[in-house]
Structure 1
């Protein structure tokens, strides 16, 4: 009988994925990890039912309300952990009369086809930019030149490609106070450097290439400073693209050759949803 261990999960591949390894690209979600946007709803998990009543737990008693089994309830923002942004995250409904309104504002997370969240992975290494801004809470920008240089080496991007920006920022995803460098020090105290992220022109180039899904191993696809957080999201989501944020372990993927897949929780009307991101990576020959 399978023991459910991570080792078994990692090595078990479906028959159609022969010659490939399944790599988990998702962060772990826990209360002491920086899995939520620091100014939004924090993630919490609370025990609803335990196997038996326990009054000797220091923090809070446990109750067997419904029988000898365990279950918890969760409090979480739609954009918790590894998650994706649906168009409705920044695009209001076209009849709303609000700025940036458009037809894509009707597309919530549950209405995004899974085909939009799957495709050949094009991994763009921008880790050299990390820490290069020289100013707190300013993101080094991934520019058009970075994309064209990558294309010279690996071929032009095409419709259906999933562009993944590997910054190495996920190394800051740590438990406890050390995890503040991931997002809190960037957004709240504004005392830390910020993750690299594409500028508007770069998103426009991806759209011109037919790319409709992009991801990053940082809390957001957008730079931190000025109007760029809104402008980058509006540019991409307003054209029907989606963004997968909070990825991890992109260094396990080659620039070309892997297949990316993100499967979100199907939440009605959601502006985004957490889920599991994986890649099928071909074995070295």
Structure 2
């Protein structure tokens, strides 16, 4: 299989660093979309040759090539929330409207979605009431800073909950989102509004999490409004944050650019110092 380094004859990754993929794979049998929203669909439009099958025929409508179409919600898989997601436009006359409501995903500067990563371990021991998220309080941030130094303006804070281990195919993936929303199991750890406020005072403008939402399962609105209303953006459904050190990695999320969108899926990566084998 060819990759960019093979095509160009050299690696594009800076010497001494490795790329860590922090994105989930999206597929129809993975819990990649929010329950009750547009389900992710991925279907063949054109195949190399006609192939009739009782379950799902495919056809060569335009010649010997393959292409597929997608039906996808803006908040599918690893994605980010733009301020417009929860803040109404300033001229809408709606409650909570404000300037941040004019910022759609395509207007968010890419520089705000990349930078030095501060990875904070907030994994929960589990248990608790079905449908309720354990809360991440400001004390968790303060404790991390006591061990790793104060957060700096512009750092990307990534909350490692370990929830991505529940991202599985088929019925086994129900524990990622469906069972939580149905009240059958406790929710993922999520920050409180005061925690978001503390991060804002530190100059953090991008907050990521390896769970379906930055908001608690039982009350997602307040946390979204508090951060997005101040121009903060959230990267959700990350994965593999346990591969990153508390400090020392560089984070980057590149969303697709859709005009007027409330958010967008994309690819999240980190560059981190390569380990010697």
What TM-score comes out, normalization by structure 2 length? 0.95
The corresponding residue for 1:176 is 170
Question: Is residue 264–residue 273 contact of structure 1 (8 Å, CA) maintained in 2?
Answer: yes
The corresponding residue for 1:32 is 29
- CA 109–283 in structure 1, closer or farther in 2 if over 3 Å, else same: same
Q: 2:239 aligns with which of 248, 265, 275?
A: 248
Distance in 2 between residues matched to 1:157 and 1:261, nearest whole Å: 18
Q: 2:107 aligns with which of 111, 114, 121?
A: 111
Distance in 2 between residues matched to 1:35 and 1:282, nearest whole Å: 30
Cα RMSD, aligned residues only? 1.7
Deviation string 1:21-49 (CA, Å, 9 cap, x unpaired) is 10000000000000000111110011110
Question: Is residue 119–residue 162 contact of structure 1 (8 Å, CA) maintained in 2?
Answer: yes
Distance in 1 between residues matched to 2:222 and 2:2, nearest whole Å: 43
Question: Is residue 131–residue 194 contact of structure 1 (8 Å, CA) maintained in 2?
Answer: no
Shift of 1:74: 0.1
Give 5+ residue unaligned stretches, structure 1: none
Q: 2:12 aligns with which of 7, 11, 14?
A: 14
Residue aligned with 1:205, SS: helix
- CA 8–44 in structure 1, closer or farther in 2 if over 3 Å, else same: farther
The corresponding residue for 1:272 is 263
Distance in 1 between residues matched to 2:125 and 2:258, nearest whole Å: 34
Q: 1:71 aligns with which of 60, 67, 70?
A: 67
Q: 1:131 aligns with which of 123, 126, 132?
A: 126
The corresponding residue for 1:216 is 209
Shift of 1:272: 0.3
- CA 245–20 in structure 1, closer or farther in 2 if over 3 Å, else same: same
Residue aligned with 1:214, SS: strand
Matched, 1:257 2:248: yes
The corresponding residue for 1:98 is 94
Shift of 1:193: 1.2
Shift of 1:221: 0.6
Alignment of 1:50-65 (within 5 A): 50-55=47-52, 57-65=53-61
How many residues were matched structurally? 274
Matched, 1:166 2:157: no
What TM-score comes out, normalization by structure 1 length? 0.93
- CA 86–152 in structure 1, closer or farther in 2 if over 3 Å, else same: same
Structure 1 residue runs of 4 or more that deviate by more than 3 Å after TM superposition: 4-9
Shift of 1:5: 6.9
Distance in 1 between residues matched to 2:268 and 2:125, nearest whole Å: 23
Question: Is residue 157–residue 206 contact of structure 2 (8 Å, CA) maintained in 1?
Answer: yes
- CA 220–75 in structure 1, closer or farther in 2 if over 3 Å, else same: same
Q: 1:196 aligns with which of 172, 189, 195?
A: 189
- CA 73–137 in structure 1, closer or farther in 2 if over 3 Å, else same: same
Give 5+ residue unaligned stretches, structure 2: none
